[in-house]
Structure 1
Amino acid sequence: MDAYREQDQAGTSPPGPAERWSAEAAWGDAVLDAVFTQSDIGLHVLDRDLRVVRVNGVVAGLHGIPVDRIPGMPAVEAYATFAGVHIDEAVLRKVLATGHPATDLRVVGRAPGAAHVEHVYSASAYRLQDAAGDVLGLVITSTDVTDSERAHARLRLLHDAHERIGATLDVERTAQELVDVAVPAFADSVVVALTDAVLRGQDPALQSRDTVPLLRCTATGGTGTGPEVPEAGAVVLPGIFDEREPAPGRPLPTRLVVPLTVRGQIFGAVAFQRRADAEAYGPDDRALADALASRTANCLENALRYTREHIVMTALQSWPPPREEATQSAVDVARRHRPGGSGAGSWCDVIPLPGARVALVVGQVESRGPGAVATMSRLRTAVHSLTTLDLDPHELLARLHATTLRLAAEGGATAADSVAAPHVDVHPTAGCTIAVHDPVDGRLDIARAGASLFVVVHPDGSADPRPLDEGPLLGGEGPPFACATYFLPEGSTLCLASGGEGPRTEDLMAALAHPGRDPEAMADDVERLLTPDRVLLLARTRHLPPGELAEWEVPYDLSAVATARVHVQDRLRRWNHPADPFTVTLVVSELVTNALRYGAAPVVLRLIADGPSLICEVSDAGQAAPHLRHAKAVDEGGRGLLICASLADNWGVRYNDDGKTVWAELGGEAG
């Protein structure tokens, strides 16, 4: 074109049509020649019958196709024969018919003689037309994208490994997850071998990388066409660590062995292997194998930590051991706990109380994991401690709420640590239901924090699914908590379960519809309706037989102390109780005297025969708190409660709206 401008500037006439066509044809030939001889993109020209007309020299390098032999051959046949590439003829004919290009088509080829080497090409097809618009054929461009495809495949495999490995927190399943990820995407067979210590749930010892620990085949898998793999459980020492790095400049073999290590701790090893005729592993493959092994080793470490924490959680949730034998005079109980592996902080307790009473407790921390179970253990300990104060259930919950707030404050001081340990429950809240049953008169005092399952089933089969409203959570809004008092007939059934989903009221009522059944059978039916990690407590109430209870109203006169002693001695003879009469009458004398001197009328003396133990209770209308005094040698009084404390196995005081009750428990071997 510059020549045209020079001619015009020189005053010569521009070229005519024939000359212009000749110049443009020359330019076109030059461009076409440059593209076919200098371009690094493969070019394939096909006629309308999809026969090869011409290919450039790059095609020989990309596909190994003999450029002098394929012109005139059908393209489908030529590329399948010489490059192992299968062309979709329908796609090419569609481009010929419509003129719409087909771009970025992915085709795979395996050249004859190198079938183990797979190449991926990106191809695009365009229709060729002459100046008149007649269709001449197609031109196809091709580019080898094998390296980028392999890089993307490695990234996809790494992403898959992060998604699938370590999801179960189980050592053996983690090993199998590595196998499932690597076959067939990375290897034709995979063997994961772990140390015996890891398989036993123990920490692997620190060892050098040259150490060869005892390894046991844990997980295997293969395509069926790859090398044979040992059976699970087989010892694979020492061969699995015998692999040596190839000499510089030589390719890696078709087998890779990578240790599973974290901070010098050897958990085991993994062997990846391809078929003997497959492409050898390269440096990028070795890096990928290291990444897969690193991911697996970290997940194995997490699984071991979880196993140890799960053992601790199970121990915490089974403490203290059940003491049903100490509560048989008040209730018959059945417990259920079906762990779900999530570390839910749920618990239930049956706690004997003075006066043959019993406390039924069900609670749950509103989070999961080891931190929740640790919080549960501390709250559970607090409940056991607070029951010794003989508080009403709603007052006990108020104290427990304060304990929960204190735990939250202590956790807040180390909140920054939760980044490194996200399972720590920094701000705990909890639900708890406490029911205290008195077998003397069937009185049931209940209080509730949060939402939990609580149903009262009467002996006639009628049930109250909501005997008490839900209350605020412990550590949340706080008191007042919902509370109520009932007087239940003997044989009533209390059903308590920690918070969670369901069950439907209809299904629950059906499971509890036959109160005449044994509590264990009822618990089996209800347990099937509960989700994992919930605890269940069923209690069938009892009343004390009249022959095990004696009660007298004591006149408000100190002279009545002698009469009270007579009543006690007579009743012990009638019961033939093993408690020492002298010790019992001495304790009763001191308790009655204390009530007459410092309390208020009416004064009531009650004896309860609770198996080999004897419980002495003296109630009065006064609210003054009795306290233990240590009298001086010259004092004439002040030794009453000290005597009781010395002779009794246990003693205490509890308050109610009508006054207080001072009690003492004496064993059968007293005196």
Structure 2
Amino acid sequence: MAYGDPGRGVDETSAAMLEALFTRSPVGLHLLDPQLRVVRLNTAAPALRGVSAQDMTGRPVRDVYRMVEGNDLETLLRRVLETGETLWQQLVRARTRDDPPEERCFEATAIRLEGRRGEVLGLAITAVDVTERERARSRARVLDAVRRSVGRTLDPVVSGEELVGALVPAFADIAVVEVVDSVLRGDEPPPAPLPPGTPLMRTAFRSGQVYPTQALPVGDVRRLPGPTPFTQALSDLRPRVVPLSPSTLWMPADPARANAMVASESHTLLVVPLALRGTVLGLVSLYRAGDSPPFDAGDRQLAVELAAHMALCVDNARRYVREHTIAATVQRQLLPRRPEAHTSLDTAYLSVTGGDPGAWYDTISLSGARTALVVGNVSGRGMNAAATMGQLRTVVRSLAAFDLAPDELLARLHDTAAELAFERASLPPGDPLRREALTADCVYAVHDALTGTCVLATAGHLAPVLVRPDRTVTVPDAPAGPPLGMAESAPFATAEFAVPAGSVLVFTSDPTLTRYLAESPGPLRAAPDYAERPLQELCDAIVYALPDGLGAGDAAVIVARTHAFPPDSCASWRLDGDDGAVATARTRVRKQLAAWDVDDETAFETQVIVSELVTNALRYGEPPIEVRLIHDRTLTCEVHDSGRAAPHLRHARVADEGGRGLYVAAQLAQAWGVRYTNTGKTVWTEQSLGDTR
């Protein structure tokens, strides 16, 4: 190089640099004329795979590169020629001239070349092969999509559908998920290798083809024939990338799958076991067909990560199904199997499937032709909720036997729930149940068939829906007390409302469901003929009318229809407070029992009971005194007075002249008790009628 001629040195350096770019640069370099024909390519140009530069020179760029559909490179290059704006790092996809062709990704930059006078000479294009980078990004997107969308529910079938939805067409053309059938039922997964003959259920299938071909329908349960790549993967728990062709040796062992593979033109299979801690949960089978590239080592590694995530989802669902099944079984054993029979009240339960094991319902026969209706819901899930529900239901039944008013009963139930909550808070710090608060909602209502009223108290926001015979639908205004088990203790209040004969009461453990039934135009308002329609049909109509998200399977529901109590099955008399009151009561009772055709032995015992109870009312109570007989499923005898003194059973000594009245009545009766009201107290007894009715 001569120091006196700097221009010549620059020209020689530029020429040397240009030659180096076209012979040794790792970046693909192309020179195009204004008609987008190839003038020159360097050795790194993607178009030179398997061909010479002379074969490509002079050809239009659209013939040099076979672009994938949707990548119109020629249009982009013409825009650069027209505007002079550089096209920076445009991602394009093209198929190579290899056999078979391979789709690859390139990052292209195009610059317009201009002469000294500004004339357009053509384009300079650089192309960098970024296929592996883009494949890695694509795999990362697939993995992220699977982690975000798969396992949002504790349902293995739904998880399988979410998985195939995330993989097709982003990662595979066809995806199949199969799960060991016993795992779907919550059983422990079998250890590898999978025992021969173990049935699997096909839980999900997805294909990107217009007319997909399935070897087996979704929901099919059968064992895998073998030996095949599927059975081998379940034996050694290793993934496999398997090339497919009609002549593959193992295909005759599983003709159904072989025919589906041929029909779908699948050329590569990637089979990955769903395994966890050496046990087998199922299998994921992925296929690529048509022009899709075969699975490679990177795809196989990604499939392993996807299968690991799916296996965790299936195992979590299995554990939930197992706990759910146990909790549902416990719940079924703790709840009444069928409603009790009541003379003036028909009841039916909606089937509780165990979706909410803390929900419970109950109907309890009380004295005086009354019926208690109870619905509640314990917070939490699983066995703990079911066990707590059983405890509270037992306490309610025990307290109901004391004829407590609804507000008093809930106050005592609240104390019990608070004690259970304290015991839970005292568990060891490592026990997860300690961190789970114990609260419960409950409604306790007492329907009185003789007065046609209902008295209730609520803990939480539970109230019944009342449908009167004229089809008006209301929710009684019942003051909401605090949820059971809460630290604060507020008094509970009662609400009383009329329930005409022929009305329907619907109690639910879900306030949202109650609100829907009260406000929607159906099914309660649209139900025909409440008086005659079977209650179970009304229950079914309620279920059918519920929108998604308000399924009755997650709520305890009682549907009750009231009837008028037969007027000839009840008799009452008011007695004067004189010495002849006892004899008068015996005479009237004897005549009434004869009219009811009650046997002589029961009639005699009833007269003795009435004599003792009236005598006690005269001695220790306050007038007025009233006697009432109720001829229902049992024979009930009630003596009411205005006094508030609490009678108690005592065992009189041999020398005592009195003190045996209540003891004698208790011995003759099947059950007895005391019920307090605003006007005094009622002492009652119940006697079995045997076969007289």
Among candidates 540, 544, 549, match of residue 565 of structure 2: 544
Provide the secondary structure at the position in 1 that maps to 2:571: strand
Is 2:335 the counterpart of 1:320? yes
Between the aligned partners of 1:617 and 1:227, the Cα distance in structure 2 is 76
Distance in 2 between the 1:353 and 1:480 partners?
Answer: 24
Instruction: Say whether 1:98 aligns with 2:111.
Output: no
Relative to structure 1, the CA distance from residue 335 to residue 48 in structure 2 (aligned partners, 3 Å threshold; closer, same or farther) is same
Report how far residue 218 of structure 1 moved.
1.4
Alpha-carbon distance in structure 1 between the residues aligned to 2:13 and 2:83: 29
Measure, in 2, the Cα distance between the counterparts of 1:143 and 1:630: 105
Q: 1:48 corresponds to which residue? A: 34
* Partner in structure 1 of residue 624 of structure 2: 602
Q: TM-score, normalised by structure 1?
A: 0.83
CA 1:442–1:230: 2 relative to 1, 3 Å: closer
Q: Distance in 2 between matches of 1:217 and 1:458?
A: 50
**How far has the Cα of 1:106 moved from its partner?**
2.0
Deviation track 1:99-151 (CA, whole Å, cap 9, x = no partner) reads 11222322223323433643222212122223443322211122222222222
- Matched residue SS, 1:653: strand
Q: 1:189 to 1:522 in 2, by over 3 A?
A: closer
More displaced stretch, 174-183 vs 224-233: 224-233
> CA distance change for structure 1 residues 353 and 385 in 2, over 3 Å: closer, same or farther?
same
* RMSD value, Cα: 4.0
Distance 1:145 1:633, change over 3 A: farther
Name which of structure 1's ranges 526-535 and 567-576 shifts more when overlaid on structure 2.
526-535
| CA pair 234-515 structure 1, distance change in 2 beyond 3 A | closer
8 Å Cα contact 1:193-1:215 kept in structure 2: no
Q: In 2, distance between residues paired with 1:372 and 1:116?
A: 61
Check the 8 A contact 1:260/1:294 in 2, yes or no.
yes
Amino acid at match of 1:242: Q
Q: Shift in Å at residue 69 of structure 1?
A: 2.5
Q: Residue by residue, what CA displacement relative to the aligned partner does 1:446-503 show, whole Å, maximum 9, x if unpaired?
A: 2233334534444455554444355544445653334222344433443434410535
Aligned pair partner of 1:284 in 298, 304, 314: 298
Task: Indicate the residue corresponding to 2:66 in structure 1.
Answer: 80
Distance 2:274 2:235 in 1: 17
C-alpha displacement of 1:323: 5.1
Q: AA paired with 2:627?
A: L
1:400 aligns with 2:378: no
- Matches of 2:242 and 2:371, distance apart in 1: 72
Say whether 1:151 aligns with 2:115: no
Aligned length: 647
- The structural deviation recorded for 1:511 is 3.5
- Give the CA deviation at 1:574: 1.9
Native 8 Å contact 1:110 1:117 kept in 2? yes
**Gap change, CA 1:504 and 1:446, over 3 Å in 2:** closer
Paired residue for 1:446? 456
The residue type paired with residue 412 of structure 2 is R
8 A contact 1:456–1:467 mirrored in 2: no
For 2:380 and 2:48, locate their aligned partners in 1 and report how far apart those are by CA, in whole Å. Answer: 60
1:77 CA displacement: 0.8
2:346 matched to 1:360? no
Q: Quick check: 1:214 aligned with 2:198? A: yes
1:332 to 329, 346, 349: 346
1:33 equivalent in structure 2: 19
Contact 1:226 1:275 (8 Å CA) reproduced: no
Q: Distance in 2 between matches of 1:184 and 1:102?
A: 30
The one of 283, 298, 302 aligned to 1:269 = 283
Q: Deviation at 1:386? A: 2.6
**TM-score, normalised relative to structure 2:** 0.80
Contact 1:551 1:604 in 2 (8 A): yes
Output aligned runs, 1:14-413, within 5 Å: 19-59=5-45, 63-64=49-50, 66-80=52-66, 88-115=73-100, 117-199=102-184, 201-209=185-193, 211-212=195-196, 214-219=198-203, 220-223=205-208, 229-231=215-217, 232-239=220-227, 240-242=230-232, 253=243, 254-275=268-289, 279-312=293-326, 314-315=328-329, 318=332, 319-321=334-336, 324-327=339-342, 329-336=343-350, 343=356, 345-365=358-378, 375-413=388-426
Q: CA deviation at 1:356?
A: 1.4
Equivalent residue, structure 1, for 2:446: 436
| Partner SS, residue 464 of structure 2 | strand
Distance 2:63 2:101 in 1: 21
Query: Which residue, 543, 546, 551 being the options, matches 1:532?
Result: 551
- How far the C-alpha of 1:358 sits from its partner, in A, is 0.7
Partner amino acid, structure 1, of 2:521: D
Indicate the SS of the match to 2:45.
Answer: helix
| Superposed displacement of residue 92, structure 1 | 0.2
**What residue in structure 1 maps to residue 645 of structure 2?**
624
User: What residue in structure 2 maps to residue 588 of structure 1?
Assistant: 610
SS of residue in 2 equivalent to 1:29: helix
2: CA distance, partners of 1:427 / 1:210: 42
Is contact 2:95–2:101 with CA below 8 Å preserved after alignment? Answer: yes
What is the CA–CA distance in structure 1 between the aligned matches of 2:212 and 2:445, rounded to whole Å? 65
Deviation at 1:203, TM superposition (A): 0.7
CA offsets, 1:255-307, max 9 Å, x none?
A: 33332223333223333344599655333322222222222222222333333
- CA 1:25 to 1:376, structure 2 compared with 1: closer, same or farther past 3 Å? farther
State whether structure 2 residue 674 is matched by structure 1 residue 653: yes
Match of 2:437 among 427, 431, 442: 427
Q: From the superposition, tell whether residues 107 and 323 of structure 1 become closer, same or farther in structure 2 (CA, over 3 Å).
A: closer
What is the match of residue 491 of structure 1?
502
Q: Name the aligned partner's letter for residue 198 of structure 1.
A: V
Point out the more displaced range, 647-656 or 558-567: 558-567
**Given the superposition, is the C-alpha separation of residues 64 and 202 from structure 1 closer, same or farther in structure 2, using an over 3 Å criterion?**
same
Could you say if the C-alpha distance between residues 365 and 134 of structure 1 is closer, same or farther in structure 2, counting changes exceeding 3 Å? farther
Inter-CA distance 255–226: structure 2 relative to 1 (3 Å threshold): farther
* Structure 1 SS opposite 2:410: helix
TM-aligned CA distance change 1:374 to 1:94, over 3 Å: farther
* Contact kept? 1:630, 1:642, Cα under 8 Å: yes
Moved more, 158-167 or 119-128: 158-167
SS of 2:221's equivalent in the other structure is coil
Unaligned runs of 5+ in 1: 5-14
1:395 Cα deviation (Å)? 1.9
Residues 188 and 227, structure 1, Cα contact 8 Å, conserved in 2: no
1:241 is aligned with what amino acid?
T
**Cα distance change, pair 145–623 in 1 and its aligned pair in 2 (3 A):** same
Distance 1:505 1:227 in 2: 48
8 Å contact kept, 1:204–1:267: no
Tell me the distance in 1 between the aligned counterparts of 2:466 and 2:37.
88
Counterparts of 1:460 and 1:60, CA distance in 2: 84
1:519-564 Cα deviation digits (max 9, x unpaired):
6366566555543234543433234323211223344467644543
Unaligned 5+ residue runs, structure 2? 244-267
Tell me the SS of whatever aligns to 2:26. Answer: coil
Change beyond 3 A, Cα 1:136–1:465? same
Question: What residue in structure 1 maps to residue 519 of structure 2?
Answer: 505
